[in-house]
Each structure stands twice: as structure tokens, then as C-alpha cells.
Amino acid sequence: MTARRLAAFLALPVCLIASPALAAPGGLLAHQTTLELNEASSAWILTSTALVLLMTLPGLALFYGGMVRKKNVIAAIAHSTAALAIVTVLWFAVGYSLSFGVGPEPVNGFIGGLQAAFLDGVMPTTAHSLSPGLPEFLWVAYQLTFAIITPALIAGAFAERIKFSASILFFFLWHLLVYVPICHQVWGGGWLGSWGVLDFAGGAVVHVNAGVAGLVAALVLGPRHGFGRDNMAPHNLAFTAIGTGLLFVGWLGFNAGSAWAADSIAAVAALNTILAAAAAAIGWTAVEWIDHKRPTLLGLLSGIVAGLVGITPAAGLVDPKGAFFIGILSGPACYAGAVWLKRALKYDDSLDAFGVHGVGGIVGALLTGVFASAAINPVGEGADIVKQALGLLAVIVWSGVGTFVILMICKFTVGLRVTKEEEIEGLDYTQHGETIHQ
């Protein structure tokens, strides 16, 4: 069977399902509108797409690569790289359509349809109804970068002990069964967004979602060999510092790009992002200084990321005073999650995926309900901390249960963990046959 015939065979079931919906009235799919090109906004979102892609590779890859031990650097970077490759192909095939397409009622509240599978019906003249000024191809690309980084964040929780084959299967299933439904429910016309849950740039969809998944993965896999006894300090904080810088710069595209236009909301989102990151770095370092009697570079870097996470759901909804308070509270809260909670419960979240992204996302999402301002963004008028809390609960349950099921599938098919001997030798060599020299 030729490659072309194989691709056609694999695509047939999806195309058969999607085909009735392609003949929508007026030649447009249910989620589409005719493009009314805004060149300035399109230029900004093109730039933002590149910035957010930079966050995963090399940003997150270096951030995580510096935090693991030397024998696992390549494996950590491979996780980010694999997530990028797998999610991109899945997004093209069905992920975009299921996230931002329109499904039949009552299913549409939870998942979109397959009308745009393999980007059928997406044309240079179409736009998504959420962003009529942007070419739909650009909308697809920008939203793809969010889908890529989310599972890559989870890898920080199971670093240094998972089989690479298990991580591949996990990324594949998690994108389809967890990320895509939650993305649709919050951003794509599903029940959470329609109900009034606010998530400007991904506090729930990206960070709480990934953080909870990371916590479940850490609990299911169990601690690394020697956890609590051996020295597991980061092998290269210079890598982590460079990765943090790339994440910080990329986050401007993540948050300010989520205005979907080059406007005043994008401007305040950019300022809020920088301010919250700085405030959180101060907050984290202050608590760390009291707790450990000295400040660390890793603490400053972790505080910056904590602030970036905390402000994400609120970036274009709050004024700078609100951003400051979100940042100054996110730093200590994430320190408590990454240090005190992990110490108390004795679970091994290797690189603090839950402590930073889960806790920071929860804090930021809740405070969005407190600080959102209609004077900054009219959407903020509907802010409600009770709705935010219930929305978070829905995301936590879906992510937690879905992640556990996926991990069980991985466990009973390809297996989850490397052997004790392979873990001691290091995943770089045992999983990839490569080593890093420096």
C-alpha cells in the first residue's frame, strides 16, 4: 500500500463523518464567517504565534532541561520536541475542528464537530466567528501553539522516570481526550465559556489543566529512585535561566496575543504580564529567604514563571493594580505548592508542574473573579468568583479523571516506567542512546 493510499484509508472514517456538515448553507461552516481582514491585528497575531511557539522549543525545553540531572537532559528536551510534533499533526487532523468547530446538540457543550477535520473548508477567505479580522489559517496556527505547550508542561511532573514510548502515547491520547474537550468547553463555544467562566489566555485551559494532569501523573508513577535521599538538584541553572527568559518573552505573545487584535487590551495585557511576573518573583523570593535563610536563582526564576502563570487568566481583564496583587500573591502560593505541599505529602512532582502551573493557575483564575474590571475590558463586567471556582472544579475533575484513565491505558499497553537500572543510568542513554557532554 502506497503512502498516499494509506493516508486516504486512515482519513476515510473522519471524512465520512464530517462530510454531511461540509455542505452548510452559504458555503461556510457553522463556526466560520467571511474574512474582514485587519492587517495590523494579523501582523500582531503572526508575531504572537512565533512567540508562543518559542515558549515550547527552545523555551520550555531549556527550562526543564536545566532542572533535571545531567543524565536526563536530552530526555527532558525530547519531551517538548515530541509534544510539538504529535500535537501539530493531531491539531491539523481533528484537534482544531473538535476544539473550535460546532458539534451537534447537546454534544456541542462538551466537544466540537468534525466539519473542519484535516482543515477541510478552511480557506484564505474564511475567518473564525470569534476573530473575523484574522485569516482562519492564522487562527488555526495561533491556537495550535497553546495546544502544543500544554502537554509539554505536564512532562515536568514525570521527568526522569517515564518511558519515552509511554510519553508519546500519553501526549497523543491526552490531547484528544483532555485538552481538546476543555479547550472547546472554555474557549470554543462550550458550556463553561457560555456560562460566564473567564479565562483570558489559558489559566484553566492550559495551566490548571496541565498542573492537575501533572499531579495525577506524579502520584501514579510514584517517586524517582532515591527521592528524598539522593541529590536531585538542577544540573545547569544557566539553561533554566535562558529558558525562563525565552518563556517570559514568549508569554507576551501568549497573553497580549490573546486579545486577538493590536489594541488597548493587548497593551494592558502586555504590561500586566511583565508586572505580575516581577511581583511574583519578589513574593516567592521573600518567602524562600525566610524559609531557607537565603535567596536562590532558581527561586527567582520560579517566581517569575509563577507570576506569568497567575496573570494568564486575567491579563486582559484587570488593571495594573490587580495584576500586581495577582503576582504578589501567586509567588508565595506557588512556593507553598512547590515546596511545602510536596514536602508534606511526599509526592514527587519532579519539576513542580502542579506546584507552579496548577497552583498558580488556580490562584489567578480565582482572583480574576475579584479583580476583573469592566473599565479595562467590557467582558470583566460579568466576573464572578463563584463561577470561576465552579469552572475550575469542572476542569480539575475532567483533567484528573481523564489523565488517570490515559495513564492506565499506557501502563497496560507500553508500560509507564523505565526499570530501576535504566533510571539509575539515566534516560538520555537508555531511552535515546545519546548523552550530553559539557
**Residue listed under C-alpha cell 473522519:** 14
* pLDDT tens-place string over residues 246-299: 999 999 999 999 999 999 999 999 999 999 999 999 999 999 999 999 999 999
Cα 414 to its chain centre, rounded Å, is 25
The residue with greater pLDDT, 11 or 287, is 287
Q: Phi, psi at residue 120, to the nearest 5°? A: -60, 135
CATH classification at residue 131: 1.10.3430.10
Please give the residue range of the domain that contains residue 394. 15-425
**Selection from 399, 407, 367 nearest residue 186 by Cα:** 399
Q: What is the pLDDT of residue 25?
A: 47
Check: CB of residue 84 under 8 Å from CB of residue 168.
Answer: no
Residue 3 lies in a domain: no
Residue 9 lies in a domain: no
Q: What is the pLDDT of residue 200?
A: 98
Q: What is the pLDDT of residue 437?
A: 74
Tell me: pLDDT of 22 over 90: no
Residue 430 lies in a domain: no
C-alpha cell at 345: 505529602
Q: How confident is the model at residue 26 (pLDDT cuts 50, 70, 90)?
A: low
> By mean pLDDT, which of 16-20, 36-40, 51-55, 306-310 is the weakest?
16-20
Q: What is the pLDDT of residue 20?
A: 43
Tell me whether residue 385 is exposed, middle or buried, using C-beta atoms within 10 angstroms of its C-beta: 0 to 12, 13 to 18, 19 or more. Answer: middle
Q: What is the pLDDT of residue 106?
A: 87
**What is the CB neighbour count within 10 angstroms for residue 17?**
14
Tell me: pLDDT of 151 over 50: yes
**Residue listed under C-alpha cell 532558581:** 298
Residue 8 lies in a domain: no
Q: What is the pLDDT of residue 2?
A: 40
H-assigned helices in 39-163: 39-54, 61-67, 73-90, 96-100, 136-158
Give the span between the Cα atoms of 316 and 324, in whole angstroms.
13
How long is the chain? Answer: 438
Residue 94 lies in a domain: yes
Tell me: pLDDT of 438 over 70: no
* pLDDT tens-place string over residues 103-142: 998 899 999 999 999 999 999 999 999 999 999 999 999 9
Cα 267 to its chain centre, rounded Å, is 22
State the chain's mean pLDDT as an integer.
94
Tell me: pLDDT of 411 over 50: yes
Percentage of the chain modeled with pLDDT above 90: 92
| Residue 135: DSSP 8-state | -
Cα 58 to its chain centre, rounded Å, is 15
**Tally of domains within the chain:** 1
Write out the DSSP string of 204-268: IIIIIHHHHHHHHHHHHH-PPTTTTTS----S-HHHHHHHHHHHHHHHHHHHGGGGSSSSHHHHH
User: CB-based contacts of 104: which residues, under 8 Å, 6+ apart?
Assistant: 113
Tell me: pLDDT of 64 over 50: yes
Tell me whether residue 404 is exposed, middle or buried, using C-beta atoms within 10 angstroms of its C-beta: 0 to 12, 13 to 18, 19 or more. Answer: middle
* C-alpha distance from residue 87 to each of 171, 174, 208, 396, 426 (Å): 8, 10, 19, 21, 26
Residue 2 lies in a domain: no
Residue 200 lies in a domain: yes
Q: Phi, psi at residue 173, to the nearest 5°? A: -70, -40
Percentage of the chain modeled with pLDDT above 70: 94
**Selection from 169, 117, 101 nearest residue 12 by Cα:** 117
Residue 45 lies in a domain: yes
Q: How confident is the model at residue 17 (pLDDT cuts 50, 70, 90)?
A: very low
Q: What is the pLDDT of residue 5?
A: 37
* C-alpha distance from residue 47 to each of 52, 54, 125, 246, 266 (Å): 9, 11, 21, 14, 13
Q: Whole-model pTM?
A: 0.94
Give the span between the Cα atoms of 379 and 330, in whole angstroms.
23
Q: What is the pLDDT of residue 436?
A: 85
User: CB-based contacts of 41: which residues, under 8 Å, 6+ apart?
Assistant: 133, 134, 260, 261, 262, 263
SS3 294: coil
C-alpha cell at 238: 544557566
Q: Phi, psi at residue 32, to the nearest 5°? A: -100, 160
